[in-house]
Amino acid sequence: MRQLIGVLLLFSFWACTSSEENEVMQVEEFSMHQEQTIDFEQIKKHSSLYDNLKKSRYLRDPNKLHIQAGRELGIEPFRKNADFLAVRDSILSNEILFYLEDGEFYRKKKMGHSYPYLTKEAIDLIKELSERFQKNLEKKGQENYSLLITSALRTEESQKKLRRSNRNATKDTTSHLFGASFDVSYWDFYRNSNGEIYRYKNLQKILTNTIKEMRNEKKCLVIKETGHYCFHITVMQ
């Protein structure tokens, strides 16, 4: 992925070159992407993380497992915010990351230390989680509520800034750097009927049980962050 990002940076610098040169760069970029895909599949194929993951009653998957999954399924981290912003348009056009739009049963909160961009697999996981949460609400006779996504992609720079202002932020590497992790609030819920935010313990319980189901299906890794009032979730498939 580092090679691909490098190509994208070159592409942004030479955007004004002739069409013939641009065509050559696009071919090289495509070749790089194909090569990275092969490497990615090799890593994924030989990873023992998925096969060895056991069911758990607790949502306490170690941070090192989140990082391992992020490295295998996500992007190469960006050091600086400016590095990411310089190639953001190219990353989106090449479908390396995707913008996190509000969905039918989830909304994104304003993100102060992260960017609302994730891998396709991570966004698909959010959609599935929100839909299953909604079905479980219906089974309990509850109103419709949307989940609130509070954090997504970070750079090393934004993680350092967060660490200064939030003592709960991990001092180690975070899987948010890879674009395959996100945080969902278990404290605040968005009521679809009126757009207001509510806090109910029964909603927390239903969300917790929904996430446990998906965790034990090996769809994701989860850490319950009590200081942040959120679940930190990393895609597994």
154 in Cβ contact with 115 (< 8 Å): yes
Q: Quick: pLDDT tens for 195-235.
A: 999 999 999 999 999 999 999 999 999 999 998 899 999 99
Which residues have a Cβ under 8 Å from the Cβ of 82 and sit 6 or more positions away? none
| Cα 23 from Cα 10, distance rounded (Å) | 13
How would residue 40 be classed by pLDDT, with cut points 50, 70 and 90? very low
- For residue 168, pLDDT over 80 is answered with no
196: Cβ contacts below 8 Å, ≥ 6 apart: 190
Mean pLDDT, to the nearest integer, of 17-34? 37
Confidence check: pLDDT of 183 > 60: yes
Which pLDDT does position 82 carry in this prediction?
A: 97
**Mean pLDDT for all residues in the chain:** 83
Looking at domain 55-235, its CATH architecture is: 2-Layer Sandwich (3.30)
Place 22 in a pLDDT band, splitting at 50, 70 and 90: very low
Q: Give 1's pLDDT tier (boundaries 50, 70, 90).
A: low
Where are the domains positioned within the chain? 1-46, 55-235
pLDDT surpassing 70 at residue 99: yes
